[in-house]
Amino acid sequence: MTSMYEHVGGEEALRRVETAFYDKVLADPVLKSLFPERRPHHVDHLTWFTAESFGGPDRFSRELGFDYLIAVHRHLKITDEQRERFAELYMEAFQEAGLLESAAFRDAVRSHVEFGAEVAQQNSHAGTDEELHPIRAVPRWTWEG
């Protein structure tokens, strides 16, 4: 079975998707409060996370760790509208890159982004560590491709 990482064409293809996605969220009025300014390493971090979760190298875990991901979402108070818009723009970026032609892959990407957005939203409202989502490692996503 081909990993999702291999299916998209590796890190450079994911970097193109994440760059397009990041441009979208920075310009989006619904997400502006979550993404108020361009951060120099944000595309790198998005790319590393997606690559690892799609079955590629574990650079996100090695260089940043999952605690970093929890920390950047803490106290953001992500709304349902923001969570849904985030997922919508993520899917748009993959679609525009021509990577969602396979229904199985499209479903896997949608599942991945919706799960991640739900985890981020929960963590953004957590007042204590006990209220955080229990996941503490980058999830490995698979598909029937």
For every residue of 54-103, DSSP letters joined together read TTS--HHHHHT-HHHHHHHHTT----HHHHHHHHHHHHHHHHHTT---SH
Residues 123/133, Cβ–Cβ less than 8 Å: yes
Residues 137/61, Cβ–Cβ less than 8 Å: yes
The answer to the question of whether 45 is labelled as a binding residue is yes
Residues 6 or more apart in contact with residue 110 via CB below 8 angstroms: 87, 91
**CA–CA separation, 22 vs 89, rounded Å?**
9
Binding-site annotation, residues: 45
Binding-site annotation, residues for heme: 45
